[in-house]
Amino acid sequence: MKDLGDLKYFLGIEVARFANGIFLSQRKYVLDLLAETGLLGCKPADTPIEMNHKLYEHMDQEPTNKEQYQRLVGRLIYLAHTRPDIAYAVSVVSQFMHSPSVSHRNAVDRILRYLKLAPGKGLLFSKGRDLEVVGYTDADWAGSITDRRSTSGYFTFVGVRSVDH
């Protein structure tokens, strides 16, 4: 075995140690993703998805490149490990992996433009005695345009804060 020193980068996740804790981000991963999609110079979006979005599947939709869409959404799913702020938007666009349209691809591009706003945002695991437990929940009752199904979700953070470095 060999001692390679402190962990700095692993599987696209950057690890930085500070006096107050450990910070995880995927800044390089985000910048590479923006460069790959040609959105590195784009205007950033304030939110990852439009409020009261109406994404659905319909027969007359204009299709987009399915393989490219699936690859982008897969990369966004991986990115959500250190960016819980995009988790809801990614879950919405991942519902259309089997038959994506141009409107679905536009929603993916909006997530990417949101990431441009703060590519270095990540998670800070703080040192200390206080382990703050914070929970968030939301529900959309019968909100699906296609089948009137409900969507709900929750996040629970234990000693973790989302920060921008």
pLDDT tens track for 27-60: 999 999 999 999 998 899 999 888 777 776 776 7
Percent pLDDT > 90 in the chain is 34
Residue 37 lies in a domain: yes
- Looking at the structure of the chain, the number of domains it has is 1
> Do residues 80 and 157 make contact, with C-beta atoms less than 8 angstroms apart?
no
What are the φ and ψ backbone dihedral angles of 21, each rounded to 5 degrees?
A: 150, -160
- Where does the pLDDT of residue 135 fall: very low under 50, low under 70, confident under 90, or very high at 90 and above? confident
Predicted local distance difference test score (pLDDT) of residue 143: 67
139: β partners: 152
- Where does the pLDDT of residue 141 fall: very low under 50, low under 70, confident under 90, or very high at 90 and above? confident
Predicted local distance difference test score (pLDDT) of residue 95: 87
Listed in sequence order, the residues at least 6 apart from 2 whose beta carbon sits closer than 8 Å to its beta carbon are none
Residue 160 lies in a domain: no
Question: CA dihedral in degrees (109, 113, 118, 120; nearest 10)?
Answer: 40
What is the average per-residue pLDDT within 137-161? 71
Closest CA to 20 of 110, 124, 114, 105: 124
Residue 1 lies in a domain: no
Per-residue pLDDT of 110-131, as tens digits, reads 999 999 999 989 988 877 766 7
Contacts of 65-73 with C-beta under 8 Å, sequence gap 24+, read 66/99, 66/100, 69/96, 69/97, 69/100, 69/104, 69/105, 69/108, 70/97, 70/100, 72/33, 72/37, 72/108, 72/112, 73/97, 73/108
Residue 21 lies in a domain: yes
Residue 162 lies in a domain: no
What is the average per-residue pLDDT within 93-99? 88
Domain of 111, in residue numbers? 9-129
Predicted local distance difference test score (pLDDT) of residue 165: 59
Residue 67 lies in a domain: yes
What is the average per-residue pLDDT within 87-92? 88
Predicted local distance difference test score (pLDDT) of residue 46: 93
Per-residue pLDDT of 58-68, as tens digits, reads 767 788 889 99
Tokens of 94: 């991942």
Question: What is each CA distance from 69 to 47, 102, 119, 123, in whole angstroms?
Answer: 20, 10, 21, 27
Residue 150 lies in a domain: no
Residue 161 lies in a domain: no
What is d(CA 137, CA 55) in angstroms, rounded to the nearest whole number?
A: 21
